[in-house]
Structure 1
Amino acid sequence: MRIVACLNGDRRPGAHPALPVSVDQVVADAHAVVAAGATEIHVHPRNSSGAESLEPQVVAPLMERLQAEGPGVPVSLTTSLSAEADPWRRYDLVQRWAASALPDSVTVNLHEAGSVDLIRLLEDRRIGVEAGVWTVEAARILVATGLEAAAVLVEPTQVAVEDARRNADAILSLLDRAGVDRPRMLHGADATAWPVLEAAVSEGYDIRMGLEDTMRLPDGEEAHDNAALVAQAVNLASAAA
């Protein structure tokens, strides 16, 4: 089972006291979450003002530091339109990422404009793709296009736990019927983060946890940092094994 630490997401700087934004903070946090049991990390790169960015001059220094000083686990970056709203400019930015400082994989949300073209580019660049599937319609895109994703990231976005579970079940059922056999990760957000993680563990799917998904522990208490969230996720996974 992969246990991915999602360090910051699209949360605004200051949303949590321990939210890593700068390169120094991300590198330090990467070591802490791996020590807590994470096997990979997922990051939304940030520019000097703390805003998400896919600019090559932002991505390269981050990846160079993680490659040189990180804990030696795979690194995934976002390509969400929250980081670059123009899908054509996003394509251009990713095309210009330095070949010497590429992430191991990226997440691509299939419901976003330009996602299929972006995945084709990533395949050409030998960057692994985690296909972000938020809806049944997005799952149909994955099936219809025959995209070769390294993994499928099932991400129900509904606020209520039962609604999120129903959406996830519908997506997973479609993937099963279509014979999509790629590794699967399942996660929720905020109020659904821990219940969906527990469902993922029970089904044997890969999991992720971190301040991108929730800032609170299962009992509702604010987590001290990403490492505390990951440690709790590892404990839940171990207890179910």
Structure 2
Amino acid sequence: MIVQACINGARPSDFHPLLPLAIDAMVRDAAASVAAGAAELHIHPRAANGKESLAAVDDTIGAIRRVCPGTLIGVSTGAWIEDDREKTREAIRRWRVLPDYASVNLSEDDAPGLMQLLRQKGVGIEAGLASVGDAERYISLEDHDRIFRVLIELDHEQDLQRACDIADGIIAVLERGRVHRPILLHGFDRTVWPFVRLARERRYSTRIGLEDGKHLPDGTIARDNAALVAAAVAIFSSQSP
């Protein structure tokens, strides 16, 4: 059970005053998040113009690793980033400063190909599952156990009961498929804190940060990523049921 910090994601610059988009801001927030208790980092590298970019992985990972030595760092490979299958693959082939792992969305057409490419590069895989269909596709892959972790993320479902039902459906598929990989469960916006608590209850890992939401458990807007991480770590450290 760990708390991963997801410090920026695909959020626009006006989402929060301290959303880290430049490398120096990501470095600052990464260090502060680790100091607040984050065991890992999930980053969406950005180009100089602020847009997400897989070509920015080398510089971003290198800079963060210098201030957070020993901390596992992951990145997204979302299809929307390069918006082209071959550009996505070519950007990954060009990586020289490798992340420890990369998330791959099983809802995307090229997921199996990206997973194979990441294995060839020696990069771990977070298999991102957002639906029961994603889970079924994942367990159908011949080498589905060759991943770092399963990532259950329901970003597009804001009704808590429906989100929980989908998560339970995904977990049922994983159990049927005899998947024994670690699980990280997280919510988005309205479901963030219920899912942090659910992850703790079920002894899964979770993640928190401005990628997933900007509010603290009491409904106030967090000052920064470190404040969100500290709140999640407090929940994970609590001795109450």
Deviations 1:66-87 (A, max 9, x none): 2223353110011012312112
Measured on the aligned residues, the alpha-carbon RMSD in Å equals 1.1
- Counterpart of 2:47? 47
Shift of 1:64: 1.6
Q: Contact 2:31/2:67 (CA < 8 Å) preserved in 1?
A: no
Q: Contact 1:156/1:165 (CA < 8 Å) preserved in 2?
A: no
The answer to whether residue 64 in structure 2 is matched with residue 66 in structure 1 is: yes
Whole-Å separation in 1 of the counterparts to 2:141 and 2:87: 23
Whole-Å separation in 1 of the counterparts to 2:141 and 2:54: 25
Which structure 2 residues correspond to residues 71-150 of structure 1 after superposition, within 5 A?
Answer: 71-98=69-96, 101-146=97-142, 147=144, 148-150=146-148
Where 1:14 maps in the other structure, the secondary structure is: helix
Whole-Å separation in 2 of the counterparts to 1:214 and 1:240: 25
Deviations 1:105-151 (A, max 9, x none): 11000111211000001011110000000011111111001321110
Q: Contact 1:202/1:240 (CA < 8 Å) preserved in 2?
A: no
- Taking structure 1 as the reference length, the TM-score comes to 0.95
One-letter amino acid of the structure 2 residue matched with residue 135 of structure 1: S
Structure 1: which 5+ runs fail to align?
A: none
Whole-Å separation in 2 of the counterparts to 1:14 and 1:192: 21
Structure 1 moving runs of 4+ over 3 Å:
none
Which structure 2 residues correspond to residues 1-241 of structure 1 after superposition, within 5 A?
Answer: 1-55=1-55, 58-98=56-96, 101-146=97-142, 147=144, 148-157=146-155, 158-240=157-239
- Taking structure 2 as the reference length, the TM-score comes to 0.95
Whole-Å separation in 1 of the counterparts to 2:170 and 2:69: 34
Q: Which moved more, 1:65-74 or 1:115-124?
A: 65-74
Query: How many residues of Structure 1 are paired with residues of Structure 2 in the alignment?
Result: 237
Q: Contact 1:184/1:205 (CA < 8 Å) preserved in 2?
A: yes
Where 2:108 maps in the other structure, the secondary structure is: coil
Whole-Å separation in 2 of the counterparts to 1:150 and 1:166: 25
One-letter amino acid of the structure 1 residue matched with residue 162 of structure 2: D
Structure 2: which 5+ runs fail to align?
A: none
